[in-house]
Structure 1
Amino acid sequence: MRALPDRVDAVLVQALIAAALSFAHLHDLALAAGQDGWKAWAYPVSVDLLMVAAWRRLHSGEAKAAGWCWFLVALTASLGANVATAGLLDLNDVPAWLRILIAGWPAVAFLGGTLLAHGAPKPTNAPGAASEPPSTVTAPEPTAAEVEPPSAAAELPAGEPESATASPSPVPPALVALARKVADEHRARTGTPIDTSTLRARLGVPMPLAEAIAIQLT
């Protein structure tokens, strides 16, 4: 068999004695108020359980106001029974108001225990769980100055005349998209297609590149 500890915690012994005395006082008061049989024993159990539930809520760190409220209610019921049975109250002639309080205690204890047991805890967000709202800012479209235009004319090999030109370099897709947007705005405003000179002025590119872009737009 497991050996009993040599020394018993004095605080635990004192707590057990105090709990037994308070339990007995609550039982005697309920019995004097007309709650006989098992009902007289159930009253001290409900008071002590409500006090324990309120104490656990206080230690959980959530809804401390509710925890303190129901802890004080249970403590008042326990302390009131201890004082009432100390000779200040005739247990053979319990007043009507005290009978009403004792008869209504089960509903109060049920309400307090339910609120403490099923109270919604505060939501806790895990680190990194909160997501930022999606941004509605869109990236600005590239301008003609930001798009590096290719050389209007390729370099001529040595020995060939300057009049001979190589095939034009392909136009960047971003510049074509910008030119198409400018052309659509011009058509919507004037009702006529944009000409090459106007397109060159709007984009700020050389004329050969503007002509190549105009070909892409047709």
Structure 2
Amino acid sequence: MPAPGRRTVVGRIRPDPVLVQAVIAGALSFAHLHDLAAAAGQDGWKAWAYPISVDLLLVAAWRRLRNDGPSRLAWGWFVIALVASLGANVATAGFLDLRHPPAWLRFGIAGWPALAFLGGTLLAHTRGVAEATDPAAPAEATPAPAPVPDPVAATEPPASPPKKETTDLSAAAPPTEPPRPAPAPAPVPAALVAHARKVADEHRARTGNRIDADTLRARLGVPPQLADAIAAQLT
């Protein structure tokens, strides 16, 4: 008695009618192309190579249509291969005297290898719509972040443009400008001062010395002017 597992596997093997029909149609078309090539003077292995060439071109064009979508290139070579296959089926059905093939049939069979080579090359090496967009294209340059304005420098008044020297010797000496007042210290948030005080206390407990402005600036990551203003409030 066969094992249940084997009976289940055998029961799943069922012939696909569509696949059987495709095999039969392909075999008949293959034979018709062979007979037509042999009648046109291509004997031996050359008569068998013609149907292989036609079927491969037909499959290549259909694969291009399925992968990249409709295009003139794929549709054109698909129609050429389909006409060659259908023409062989019709020609071998008694519409042509294969014992005395016409000249145009000999000409077409003789020129098919070059035509099929051209079609296969174009289908294989012409970029499709999906490949036209280069994935390795450089991305757009990211704009650099705007520089953070210095709070101390922002409070300074703009410098006056230099004055041109006068060539008039009789003119009196220009009056001296009054000294500009020192810029007011930048306002320091109370939370930043409290954090700086903790850093200063930790530095004093670890080294025994008071923290200087450079060390405070490095620990807090602030501009030098802001570090000086914080250090002034810690004294």
TM-score of Structure 1 vs Structure 2, range by shorter chain: 0.5 to 0.7
* 2-structure distance, mates of 1:194, 1:26: 108
Seen in structure 2, the aligned counterparts of structure 1 residues 97 and 191 have a Cα distance that, compared at 3 Å, is: farther
Residue matched to 1:56:
63
Q: Are residues 1:81 and 2:55 paired? A: no
Mind listing any 5+ residue stretches in structure 2 that lack a counterpart? 1-5, 167-173, 184-235
Q: CA deviation at 1:118?
A: 2.2
* 1-structure distance, mates of 2:14, 2:175: 102
Q: Are residues 1:173 and 2:164 paired? A: no
Residue matched to 1:18:
25
* 2-structure distance, mates of 1:115, 1:44: 20
Q: CA deviation at 1:175?
A: 4.7
* 2-structure distance, mates of 1:78, 1:194: 104
Residue matched to 1:216:
none
* 1-structure distance, mates of 2:175, 2:118: 80
How large is the RMSD of aligned CA atoms in angstroms? 3.5
Residue matched to 2:53:
46
Residue matched to 1:162:
none
Q: 1:72 aligns with which of 51, 67, 79?
A: 79
Q: 1:111 aligns with which of 112, 118, 123?
A: 118
* 2-structure distance, mates of 1:19, 1:75: 12
* 1-structure distance, mates of 2:12, 2:90: 36
* 1-structure distance, mates of 2:155, 2:16: 86
Counterpart residue identity of residue 28, structure 1: D
Percent identity of paired positions between Structure 1 and Structure 2: 58
Counterpart residue identity of residue 83, structure 1: V
Residue matched to 1:168:
none
* 2-structure distance, mates of 1:3, 1:77: 40
- TM-score, normalised on structure 2? 0.59
- TM-score, normalised on structure 1? 0.63
Q: CA deviation at 1:33?
A: 0.6
* 1-structure distance, mates of 2:153, 2:116: 76
* 2-structure distance, mates of 1:194, 1:71: 93
Q: 1:190 aligns with which of 125, 140, 164?
A: 164
Residue matched to 2:204:
none
Counterpart residue identity of residue 153, structure 2: P
* 1-structure distance, mates of 2:13, 2:143: 69
Q: CA deviation at 1:94?
A: 1.0
Counterpart residue identity of residue 173, structure 1: A
